[in-house]
Amino acid sequence: MAFDPAIYEAARRSLFNQYAQQAAMNAYNRYLAEVRGQRPILQMEEAAFGRTASGGLGQVPKLTASYGRRGLQGMGVRSGIYKQALENYARQRERGLGYAREDLASSLRGFDLTGTQLQQGLESGLADLERTKARQIAEDAQALLNLR
């Protein structure tokens, strides 16, 4: 087969198109994963402090309010039950947030890795394309020499 640069240009465009499609899909999935990962974190944060009228977190955990209504917490009141409950809540909250953040980070790293692999595949594909082109040129040159 005689050397035809158009074939390799078409293959190059195909590689870029394929990369663009897969990278776009990966980016979109990453976005969805991030949204999904952020949601439990936000829920846990909101569960502790609630929301202000402006949309921000509240200053007082909602847990305190329930203990106050039962007389276990308030001005001058520091019951052991409340302390224990607050410690347990804080420990579980931090642990849950840690898990959620790590899950989100891991998920996002997976998408990042996928994106990097897609880029590496593109680079490798382009290099393979250049190699194939060089080999085709060499074969054409050899065929030229073999002409009688």
Contact 63, 86 (CB under 8 A): yes
By CB under 8 A, tell whether 105 contacts another protein: yes
Nearer to another protein, 14 or 92 (CB): 92
By CB under 8 A, tell whether 6 contacts another protein: no
Nearest partner of 93 among 34, 35, 47, judged by Cα: 47
Instruction: Single out the segment in contact with another protein by CB under 8 A; choices: 6-14, 21-29, 31-39, 96-104.
Output: 96-104
- The least distance separating another protein from the CB of residue 101, rounded to whole angstroms, comes to 6
Q: Cα separation of 143 and 3, whole Å?
A: 11
Contact 67, 82 (CB under 8 A): yes
By CB under 8 A, tell whether 2 contacts another protein: no
Contact 89, 67 (CB under 8 A): no
Contact 73, 64 (CB under 8 A): yes
Interface with another protein by CB under 8 A: which residues?
Answer: 45, 48, 60-61, 64, 73, 78, 82-83, 86-95, 97-99, 101-102, 105-106, 109, 112-113, 116-117, 119-120, 122-124, 126-127, 130-131, 133-138, 140-142, 144-147
